[in-house]
Structure 1
Amino acid sequence: MISDDLEELYKLLRGSRSANAVLDARALIQENKAVLAFAKLVDARESYMESRSRLLKQVPEEQFKGTSKEDVRNRKVLLRKQEKTHEILKAFEEVMPLVERVAKREEAAAAAEAVSVTVDEIEDEDDEPELVVSPADPSIDDDDAPADDEAVDEPDAPIPSRLATSADITQRFVEAFNDHDDDGQLDLVNDEFGFREVNSDDDIYPSAVYLIRLNEKNFLVRTALTAASDRTIELESVTDERVIKPFSREDFFALGKRHRMVLLTKSLIVEDSSSFDDDDDDENGEQHVLDMAAFGQLLTAAQRSGLVSGADQIGHVRDREFRMEKYDLAYQAIDAIFSRFTADASQRAQQLVREDNDISAGRLKISPKDLQAKRIRDRMQTQEVERARRRFQVVLEGLRVLGSGVS
């Protein structure tokens, strides 16, 4: 059982700062609050990895080179600490996918319940055929209200994400990845994952998933459990049986510096559990249920686009005007942010066109490899911008319908 696995993990962590978070996650699992439990577990793992990063990078034979009894004892102590750290990280890797699966099922059930409540309200009130369920609607009991708000972070918090693991690579994703060409593979990865640039040696994590471009081909690889301390980085393909040659630590880091590699992340907001995905938004032109989750998705998309400097204002609008049913004021505030976003997106597009013209005319010198890397980054960022644009349109249309209904 997951509860027993978490208890064993707590015993391994006892005395560490992360132990209490694991204990909290176990209690939340027992209360059927898997989404919150998974968030606690992610925080615990990230905190533990940060606290042990320096320890794992130490080499006992180099740290204590002497032959005295004290040096021999210190080498053994350091080696035992590293072995325990590896054991704890392995325990995290085993239990986290189990908790995440339960969290996704919980999110999907909450979304289905929210849709059911909305349909019942529409059938009961014929005079309001376009009724939109508001989180402040007093006619809905607390127990029946959508639970999406629990999964939305506070507006001042950073984008809720974690390092991607091999458990996030589903068989369906692998089949789609292998069936696409290079550009299609990049689009597929961008739709499913976030990414973080590899800027320093500290960005080399154990059991993490990286997207690497080698010999004009894309590879999704996983690092070994001991990658944080290994001098040679062993890699394993997570999409096929191809053998990936190991890299020295310096060469592996150099891939990131040349923008040939990124570290994949996974959002903690499970967007695919919503009954209203991006395709529905594009087809229908509006989101029929505008709830707290829609603002959370907009906030995440705006932050990931990199073009909304005041993205936290979206959270403030959600917590003030939207909660108080002041839909006209909420519409004006979001529309003002959207206008600035549109202007910045237009400037970015013009800048990309100028750069392409300069490269074509030879005014801007860039190697073929760097040009390919630039185009990959630009394409992925453009997709984030378009995703944010769609989210803005969904929220604005919902607020417009709500405002017209109130008036």
Structure 2
Amino acid sequence: MAKTDPYAALRFKEFRIFLLVRFVLVFGWTMQFIVIEWEVYSLTKDPLSLGFIGLMEIIPALSMALFAGHIVDQREKRNLLATCIALFSLISLGLFLLTWEPVVGDWSTKQILYSIYALIFFGGFLRSFFGPTIFSLLALIVPKKNYPNAATWSSSTWQMSAVLGPAFGGFAIGWLGVHWALCIVFGMVFLSFLILLQIKRKPILNPKIGEPVLESLKEGVRFVFKTKAILGAITLDMFAVLFGGAIALLPIFAQDILKVGSEGFGVLRAAPAVGAFITMLITAYIPISRKAGMKLLAAVFGFGVCIIVFGLSSIFWVSLVALFFSGMTDGVSMVIRQTILQIKTPDNMRGRVSSVNSMFVGSSNELGAFESGLTAKLMGTVTAVVFGGTMTLITVVTTGLVSPTFRRLDLTKDLEAHEKGEE
């Protein structure tokens, strides 16, 4: 096997522009999420209200996911992503206005809260398009042999922005207040739109343009369920994210348990992304494709342990370290899953396969947030987090025992085949 070039994908100009778009967009997106979490909990002091944030996003995201994948496979990717970002900027503008005293001065807390939930709900519809469109556009920017390297850098960029966005958001709440923090979010989203226009429009590679919607959806779902490596990876990650959703309860830990304020909240929220980003930088130099199945199982098991430690801790630095290592283990999981998806998905089905992945993994973030909020309401915050981590461990052990094929999953031969195919 040829020597790995850790910068292979970065040698393409449009890929560098793509990374900048993703960084700026996700920076604003993740910053907006934690600012809204903070505002909602400040308004209600009810953990279930944080769960409803996830629920409001997952309902439209799940209901539209497969249809969004079909539309993505039928449309030009650059312009579709530009449309999604433009609409998302309007949602950011709406949230900015909902925290402005001249606009909502006479509104009740319930009116403000329900309006926030409504905008999050509409954002869920857009969310169903973002993942498949970005996934498909990436594959049109770099050659197939560079997909694993591109996936690593793309995921690393996502994690870097997910580090800085929440951390800056937490400090911005303390320095500027919620209202002006959301103004920055709107500016970041609009900036990502302008940068995206530097990428040229791409060809539509789907030979079945105009295919009936139901037949198209069935084909995408069938492909995922018959490709065991994809199905196993996204199923395992789905349960880990679903039960390990401690992140949704961070405002409670920051305000009521660790008592570290908005700045500490931002640091805690960024810690998992810091860990994941470091892991992804390492994997750009040291690929983890060999024995990928066992490594994925070990990573998710480690993630569960970290969540349990975080739940039991009442010391800020212990909690911070636990979240950091949860991010490192999650980074391994993300790189392996994205590599599997990029390598094993045909070009004409990327939108639909990515949509199925979003239904399993992406939406489980929001469903996990609702599960965490509900269990915190019923069991108490600490018990809910420990319960989630324990269920993650049980899921990993069960998967390892019942699926020996997944335990033996190795991606080395797939990568070698792609390299030889394009020489």
**What TM-score do the two structures reach when normalised by structure 2?**
0.27
Structure showing greater relative contact order (alpha-carbon pairs closer than 8 Å, 6 or more residues apart): 2
Whichever of the two has the greater Rg, that structure is 1
- Give the structure with the larger strand fraction: 1
**What TM-score do the two structures reach when normalised by structure 1?**
0.28
